[in-house]
Structure formats: C-alpha cells, structure tokens
Amino acid sequence: MSREAAPQVPGFRILRRLGAGSSGTVYHAIQDGTEREVALKVFEPADDPDATTPAQIEREREVAASLRHRHLARIHAMGEHGDRRWLASEYLAGGSLAERIAARMRVGEVLQVVRDVLQGLGHAHARGVVHGDVKPGNILFRGTGDAVLVDYGIAAFAREGDRRVRMQGGTPGYMSPEQARGEPVDGRSDFFSLGVVLHEMLTGRVPWPADAGGEARDRGQAPLLPARHRWLQPLLDALLAERPEDRPEDARALLSLLSSLCAASPEAQSLLPHPGDDIEAGRVHGRYESVRARRRQLRRASARALLVLALVLIGAFLATRLFAGG
C-alpha cells in the first residue's frame, strides 16, 4: 500500500498514517456519525500473499470483544470495502512505549507501565486469552498516561480445561523460550515478554540478542540490573525465568511482588496502592520523580519561610535595641 495514497473507507475520514506492518496499514481516522477518533487498520488485499485471512481478523475481533479493561485496547467495528478488510479500534493519543524508551524513562514511569500491563494481562489471562506479542510497539498510552496493550493479531483463546495455546508468530527478541520453539504456551509466556520490556525500559536494550527465529542466543540467568535499579532485580528474575513453571502463575502474584519491592524502597512506597487493593482497580499513584520534585519544593519553601522569619526577628531585635538606646 502506498504511503501517499490513503484508501477510501466508507464511514471514516482518514486524517493521517500512523504506521504499517506485514498485514496492513494503520491510520488515524474519524468515524462518521459518532465523530469518534479511531485507529483504522486497513488490511492488505485478499490476494496478497501476506494478507491476513478473514478467519484471523474475526479471531482478533472476538478476542477484543471478550475483554473489557482500561489497560486493553477496545475494538469498535470491523468490515470490508472492495478487496480490503478493515478494523477500527480505540485511538490512543499518548504515543508508544517504544518512543518513551528512546527518550529514556524515569523509574516511576517504568513502574506505572509494568503495573498497568500486568493488570491488563491478568484480565486477559483470566478469560483464557494469551496475547503472544507483548513488546514496546504494542504498548500505547492514553492522554491520561494509562498504558494500554494493543494488537490482538496473534492472540489466542485457550481451550476449556487447557490453559495452553499455540501462537502463530511473535516478535524475535521478546518471545519466551517456549514460544520461540513453537511449543504450546500459557499466560506465563506473556510474563516473560514483559520481563524483556522491563529490562529494556530500565537499560535501553533487550537482555539478549535473538536470531531470526526469535530464539535468544547465550541466554542464561536474567542479566544483573544497574546498581540504581537493583532493588527491582527479584521482579526481573521472576519474569525472565527460563522455564515457564519457574515463573509466577498469575498477574496477582507479580503485582504482589512489585508492591513488596516498592514497600521496601522508601521513595517508591507512595507509588503503589496498598497490597490489599484490588488489582483491577488499583494503579500507580504519582511518579517517582514527581514525588522527589514535590519534596524538594517543600524543602525550598520551608527554607524560605525560615529565612523570612529570621529576618523579621532580627529586625525586631535591632529595633528594640535602637529604641531602648534612645
């Protein structure tokens, strides 16, 4: 599809191109009638060898329809026009995690993303959905700052009575070892991918290089984090365990671990709700650096107030001596 020529999709006014992948191109558009902003994904023509099949598009819609959570993207509508199918989903104006990593992230931002994504994954896994492609390009932000997991293109439903699914694809460097080998996976595979993302947010790079098949080379224990982030090492170790059975069973366990680590870090204590808070409703309150900034402001204000008080007292003392001497 040409970068210059946007397609005509009845019911939508296309504003600009957002990006493209192997299956199609995504546009920022306005849905007629509702005037709602959407991310409009237009798939490649059906006769294209890389085209997403109607069954795959329908599966993506079904997955999205089964999920209702503020940290998971919503799909509004789908259809076809001519030889192209399209899918309209929630438009997220806050940019992508990949952009934020490139600009370097503060610890508070990292914690908020981890918690938001874990909450979204917890909701999806509880409904039998494995995302299969957790990576910075699939984590976007609302204007409010909430992180939202998007793109259910390879997501799959687990069969009743079996939590494991077979994923069709994935992103090299982010896939779990079992996913890269083509083995059945469950939600713990998503946790491994989130561990790769966590390492990238903190250091600016993925923990291990990967070959074209997605299999990491020379993978061993989780890399040691820089000293200033070492307090988060237990979380990284839990996410990046080589064997799925060595990773936590569910998002609640990881959220509890994160809360415990923050409770042990004095400046992180105010960032997370209390351990008893519901994981669906809880979120990171404030950001690490903004907490420090507020404390610095309070200290400066207190120092100025003390200085003014001291000057007033000195002035009063001198005035008293002057009048007494007169």
Instruction: Return the active site residues.
Output: 133
CB-CB contact of 153 with 52 (8 Å) = yes
Greatest CA separation for the chain: 104
The per-residue DSSP string of 36-73 comes to EEEEEEEEPPTTSTTPPPHHHHHHHHHHHHT---TTBP
Distance of CA 144 to the CA centre of its chain: 13
C-alpha to C-alpha distance for 75 and 201, rounded to whole angstroms: 27
C-alpha to C-alpha distance for 13 and 31, rounded to whole angstroms: 7
Distances (CA, A) of 114 to 8, 29, 43, 132, 259: 38, 29, 31, 16, 11
C-alpha to C-alpha distance for 145 and 69, rounded to whole angstroms: 15
CB-CB contact of 138 with 153 (8 Å) = no
SS3 107: helix
C-alpha to C-alpha distance for 293 and 302, rounded to whole angstroms: 14
Q: Which residues contact 291 (CB under 8 A, 6 or more apart)?
A: 108, 267, 270, 271
Distance of CA 216 to the CA centre of its chain: 22
Task: Name the strand (E) or helix (H) holding 306.
Answer: helix 288-325
Please give the structure tokens belonging to residue 218: 């020379």
Distances (CA, A) of 140 to 117, 124, 136: 10, 17, 8
